[in-house]
Amino acid sequence: MRRLIFQEYMTLDGYAAGLDGGLEFFSSIPEHPDDNLELLEGIDTMLLGAQTYREWVDLWPTERMADHPIAVKLNALRLVVVSTKLQDAPWGSYEPGLVVHDLDAVRALKAEDTGKDIILWGSITLFQSLLRAGLVDEIQLRICPILLGAGKSAFPAGQSPVAMDLLEARPWGAGGVLLRYRPS
């Protein structure tokens, strides 16, 4: 069975986005693509929710990102978008994404006999649904050294606790920390 890995950049006080959904805090840590390039060696499928897809389709498969170290690998991934409203998911000049409409389709992706791991970036609402359904195999948090004071959390409020086993904790970038957990 393929693993589903959720990766999120977060602030030190636990926010994945500002109150307005803004991600300006990303600039608080210099970019170090080596970790993600290494991660992408074991990934062949990128899973996105509809909102993250809408944001990323205007960024990653464009000419302005062509020289970005991660863009080449990211754009070569099989793209799967989970949405109840989208009917298609074009990806610039690359292979269009597959649109699926429910978590059963994600279960089927994970159950495929061949293939590498699946990465879920951003897509907080989708992540929360996948976590509740027991479909997330690993959570990677890239903690940026900044405090927002308020914002949007990646973790669902008011849900039953989910115990985690620590897989790795190490410095990352300039003052950041990479934390990897597996739901128990």
pLDDT, tens digit, 9 for 90 and up, residues 67-110: 888 899 999 999 999 999 999 999 999 999 999 999 999 999 99
The Cα 105–Cα 160 span in angstroms is 24
Which residues are CB-contacts of 161 (< 8 A; sequence separation ≥ 6)? none
The residues with which 82 forms a beta bridge, in sequence order, are 49, 100
pLDDT of 37 reads: 87
For residue 162, the enclosing domain spans 4-183
DSSP one-letter code for 86: -
Q: Count other C-beta atoms under 10 Å from residue 44's C-beta.
A: 16
The number of domains in the chain is 1
pLDDT of 96 reads: 98
Tokens 């006999």 sit on residue: 113
The mean pLDDT value for 41-69 works out to 94
Give the DSSP letter string of 20-35.
TS--GGGGGS---THH
The Cα 30–Cα 7 span in angstroms is 17
CA 31 remoteness from chain centre = 16
> Does the pLDDT at position 31 exceed 70?
no
pLDDT, tens digit, 9 for 90 and up, residues 106-160: 999 999 999 999 999 989 999 999 999 999 999 999 998 889 899 988 886 787 8
The CATH number of residue 115's host domain is 3.40.430.10
